[in-house]
Amino acid sequence: MEIVVKIPEKTEVTVQGFKVLVSGSKGKVEKDFSSPLFNKEVKITKETHTVKVHSESMKRKIKSQVGGVAAHIRNMIKGVNSGYSAKMKIVFMHFPVTAKVAGKEVTVANFLGEKAPRRAEIIGDTKVEIKGEEIFVSGIDKEAVSQTAANIETATRVSARDRRVFQDGIFVTEKVN
């Protein structure tokens, strides 16, 4: 099985074993795809304007890993050229919620009237901007942007209360790729 990923102009891809470095107009993203499952069976090679992920094995797990690695490389190429972003909305019914960015974390204060602020980690080089009741999460690594948005959403999860009444939280409203 072989999957070919095309490299657009003004994008540079470097492959060293299972480490792939993609650099473009917005920055650089590097991932290590080494895994004991397929180190012997899968090969990643770079040619003139393509990256090939291939394997001789026809096992289902190996074929899925080949497709997964190719998808990651496509996402890396797209990220360094156009970037990823997510738009989130702060929703509150009972207590006014305030959110602030402090270093590498987002602090959510007065959520459901709680005294202690809730915290969410910002992953990698992801940028978080807060404008009123909207939060914008952006970056060049799709995994880091998505995980940061998930961390913010998870930090404001309501538990031990009726979700039909307490609909407070911070929710992803739009993903722009």
Lowest mean pLDDT among 7-11, 21-25, 50-54, 55-59: 55-59
pLDDT band, very low/low/confident/very high, at 143 (cuts 50, 70, 90):
very high
pLDDT surpasses 80 at 163: no
Question: How far, in Å, CA of 50 to CA of 37, rounded?
Answer: 25
Classify 2-81 by CATH class: alpha beta
Residue 123 — very low, low, confident or very high, per pLDDT cuts 50/70/90?
very high
Give the per-residue pLDDT at 159: 83
Buried b (16+ CB within 10 A) or exposed e, 124-149: eebebeeeeeebebbbbbbbbbbbbb
Whether the model pTM is above 0.85: yes
Q: What whole-number distance in Å separates Cα of residue 137 and Cα of residue 97?
A: 18
Domains of the chain, by residue range, sit at 2-81, 84-176
In CATH, the number for domain 84-176 is 3.90.930.12
pLDDT digits (tens, 9 = 90+) for 50-97: 999 988 888 898 888 899 999 999 999 999 999 999 999 999 987 899
* pLDDT of 38 above 80: no
